[in-house]
Amino acid sequence: MGDRLGPYRAKRDFDATPEPAPAEAAGEDGARYVVQEHHARALHWDLRLEHEGTLASWAVPKGIPPDPARNHLAVRTEDHPLEYLEFHGDIPAGEYGAGTMRIWDRGTFELHKWRADEVMVTFHGERLQGKYVLFRTDGKNWMIHRMDPPQDADREPMPTRLEPMLARAGDLPREDGGWAYEVKWDGIRAIGYVEGGRLKLLSRNSNDITPRYPELRELGRALGAREAVLDGEVVAFGPDGKPSFQILQSRMHVVSDAAQRRFAASHPVAYVIFDLLFLDGHSLMGLPYDERRAALAELGLNGSNWQTPAHRTGDGAALLEATRAQGLEGVIAKRLDGTYAPGRRSQGWIKVKNIRRVEVVIGGWLGGEGGRAGRLGALVVGYHDEDGSLRYAGRVGTGFDDRELTRLGRLLAARARDTSPFAGRQPPKLTHFVEPDLVASVDFTQWTSARTLRQPSYKGLRDDVAAEDVRGEES
C-alpha cells in the first residue's frame, strides 16, 4: 500500500499543505468516490475512485460529461489516500496543485469492470447518477464517456452559434408599464459560451474574439461546471470612467498574444452581461425577459472584469436623462414579457439614444486641404439598400487623429479601384474609389431628406460587422 501512495507522498510537504497525509493502515474496502472541483492554475475536476485501499485519480479538464454525445479527456494522476475523499480547502501558493479545491460530488459506485486500461462504473452520487466508462487512449490520457442517456431527459445540447437579438431605434415607449430599461453601453456585442469552466466569446458575425480579451477568461471559472450562453457587450472604459469605443477599437487590431496581454493590463475591458440564453441543458430564449433576468441574477456574475448591471422597471425617462447627464449613449427599452429572438431586430427591444450612430461602408475618399493636403481629407461612405446596391450617404471629414489618418491611408491605398462602387447618386467628382469592404462607425446628428448624414464624425473601423450587412440602421 505504501508503494502505491509513494508518488502522492513525494509531491507534497505535509507540514505546508492542509491535504491529508496517508494513514499507515488503509481503510476498509468499499466503493466510494469523490469529484473535486480544483481551481488550480487551470480549472479541472478530479475524479477519485476507491480501489484496493487507495483512490485511483483522474484530472478531467472539462468536468464529467453529462451527455453520451461528448467524451471528455481524463488524465490519470497519482493515487491518493482514502482520506482525500473528504478533502476540500486551499492548497497554499507554491505547493503542488496550489489553489482552492471543493467537493463537487460524492457518493458510492458500483464497479462493473476494472482493468489496467478500462474502468466501468455506475455512480450513485449527490449529483451524478449513471453509468460511465473510462478508457485509456495514450499513456496517461484517458477518456471518460457517459454510457447512460443524459440524467436530465429533456437536456438539449448547448448551441454553439446564436446571433444576438437586435433592437430597433426609436423613442421611449409611451406606456411605461411592461417595459424594463437598461443602459446602452458603447462597446462590442458578444455572445459568451461557457462550458467546462471555459469561455468562448463570439462577435455579432460569429468571429471568435476570445483571444483578444484574456482578462475575460476567468469568467469561465466563475461558472464552474455550469453550461451557459450569455449575451452582453464588451466595453472599454476611458480615463474619465466612460465607455471608450476608441480604446476598444485599438484592441481590435492587436495581433500578438503578448500585445493583447499588455493591453489587457493597461486598458482592461469589462463584459457587461444583460441576458441569459441557455443554462445547464435548457434554452431560456422562450422565457419572458424578466424570468431570464432573474435566472441571470442568480448566477451572481459580478467579478473584476464582468458585471451584470441591474435593469430598471418603468420610468425610462429618468434613466435616459441620467445617461444623458453622464455622457452615455442612451438606454434600451425591453418588453418584460418579450422572448429572445436571435438574429432579429425586434419590436420588443428599442434603443433610445442621446447620440446617434450608424455603421457605414467606405466606398472612397477625398484628399485633404491645408494641413492635410495630399493625405486623407474625408471618407466617402454609404450603406446598402434593400436590393443590395451601395447608396451614397455623405462624407466624413472629422474624428480622426494623426495615427488613424495614416492607418486609414494605408488601408485605402490597398483597396484602390477605378470605378465607383456606388449606385444611383454619385459622390463628389474628385473621389478616389476603393473596394467597399471596410466598415466604419460614425456619429451624426440627423439624416437629411436625401438620406445622407448631417455632421458625421468618424468613431472607428469595425471588424465585427460585414460590409454587406450595413443597411443604414442606427446602432
Interface contacts to Mn ion, rule CB under 5 A: 38, 46
CB of 8 to Mn ion, least distance (A): 12
Half-sphere CA count of 363, side-chain side, radius 13 A: 26
Contact between 176 and 316 (Cβ < 8 Å)? yes
Which residue, 102 or 417, is less far from Mn ion as judged by CB? 102
Which residue, 37 or 186, is less far from Mn ion as judged by CB? 37
Q: In whole angstroms, what separates CA 363 from the centre of its chain?
A: 32
CB of 409 to Mn ion, least distance (A): 53
Residue of 184, 334, 351, 459 with catalytic role: 184
**Where is 155: in which H helix or E strand?**
none
Rounded to 5°, the CA angle 9-51-75 comes to 65
Which residue, 36 or 452, is less far from Mn ion as judged by CB? 36
Which residue, 97 or 399, is less far from Mn ion as judged by CB? 97
Residue whose Cβ sits closest to Mn ion: 38
Which residue, 10 or 153, is less far from Mn ion as judged by CB? 10
CB of 204 to Mn ion, least distance (A): 37
CB of 144 to Mn ion, least distance (A): 15
Count helices and strands in the chain by DSSP H and E runs = 7, 27
CB of 196 to Mn ion, least distance (A): 15
Q: Could you give phi then psi for residue 141, rounded to 5 degrees?
A: -85, 125
The C-alpha atoms of residue 40 and residue 5 are separated, in whole angstroms, by 21
Q: Which residues pair with 411 in a beta bridge?
A: none
CB of 46 to Mn ion, least distance (A): 4
Radius of gyration, CA atoms only, the chain: 28
The set of cell numbers assigned to 437 is 469592404
CB of 38 to Mn ion, least distance (A): 4
Measured torsion, CA atoms of residues 87, 91, 97, 103, in degrees rounded to the nearest 10: 30
| Nearby residues of 360 by Cβ (< 8 Å), 6 or more positions away | 381, 382, 383, 393, 396, 439, 440, 442, 453, 470, 472
Which residue, 128 or 270, is less far from Mn ion as judged by CB? 128
Which residue, 74 or 277, is less far from Mn ion as judged by CB? 74
Contact between 150 and 68 (Cβ < 8 Å)? yes
**Residue 184 designated active-site:** yes
Alpha helices in 75-171 (DSSP H): none
Contact between 201 and 228 (Cβ < 8 Å)? no
Q: What's the one-letter identity of residue 361?
A: V
Which single residue is written with the C-alpha cell 468618424?
Answer: 458
CB of 109 to Mn ion, least distance (A): 19
Give the sign of the dihedral formed by CA 409, CA 411, CA 415, CA 419.
Answer: negative
Contact between 199 and 216 (Cβ < 8 Å)? yes
Which residue, 40 or 297, is less far from Mn ion as judged by CB? 40
The C-alpha atoms of residue 161 and residue 311 are separated, in whole angstroms, by 26
Q: What's the one-letter identity of residue 275?
A: D
Which positions are annotated as active-site residues?
Answer: 184
